[in-house]
Amino acid sequence: MKSPIFETSLQSTHSILVPSKIAESFVSQNHKRVVVQIQYQNKSVQFHAALQKRKELFSIMFSKKYQKQLGVFPSDYFQVQLLEDTSKYGVEMPEELEAVLQSDPEASEIFESFTAGKKRSLIYYVLGFKNSQTRIDKALIITENLRLGIRNPRELIKKL
C-alpha cells in the first residue's frame, strides 16, 4: 500500500499534518504504523512512524534529527509519501539485538511476550547507539535482565 505524494509543512516543532483522506485509507485497513518518505530539495529521509489522530486531524511525528538532515525550517513545504509498514515490529530491528535474541531463546520468548510498544521502545533504545559494539553490549544487558525477571523498561536497560 502506498499513498500519493502530498505536500505539507511542519504543523508543530515535531509533527506534520497528514490529509485525512490519505490517513484514513491506511487506518481503515488497520495500518496505523507507516513508513514515511520525505523529500526536500534533492534530499530525502525514510523512517517508521505512527499515524496519530487528535481533534479529527491526523499527524505524524517528524523529529528534529530528520528535519536537520533535510535542512527543513518551519515555513518550508516538502513532499511526503506514506507506505505500508511491513516490518515485524513497526521499526527495523537492529542486527545486533536480533542476533543476541536469537542466541538466547529464553530472553527472546520473554521479549516476544511484550506489547508491541514495549518491544519498539527497547529496539529504539538499542538503535540510539551508533557504535555496533555498544549496541551488542546494550542488547546483552537487556537479555540478561529479561532472564533475571526484570520487566520494567527503565530497569531492563540498566546494568546490574
Write down the pLDDT at residue 156.
83
Write down the pLDDT at residue 94.
93
67 & 12 share domain: yes
Average pLDDT along the chain, 160 residues, taken 10 residues at a time: 92 91 91 94 94 92 93 93 90 92 93 91 91 92 91 82
Write down the pLDDT at residue 106.
92
- The answer for residues whose C-beta is within 8 angstroms of residue 50's C-beta and 6 or more apart is 32, 33, 34, 60, 61, 90
- Domain end (from 39, 58, 84): 84
42 & 104 share domain: no
Write down the pLDDT at residue 60.
95
Q: Are 104 and 147 in contact (CB under 8 A)?
A: yes
CATH number at residue 43: 2.40.30.100
56 & 116 share domain: no
Total domain count for the chain?
2
Residue 114 lies in a domain: yes
74 & 19 share domain: yes
Write down the pLDDT at residue 104.
93
d(CA 82, CA 49): 10
14 & 77 share domain: yes
Residue 32 is part of which domain span?
Answer: 6-84
- Domain end (from 84, 108, 143): 84
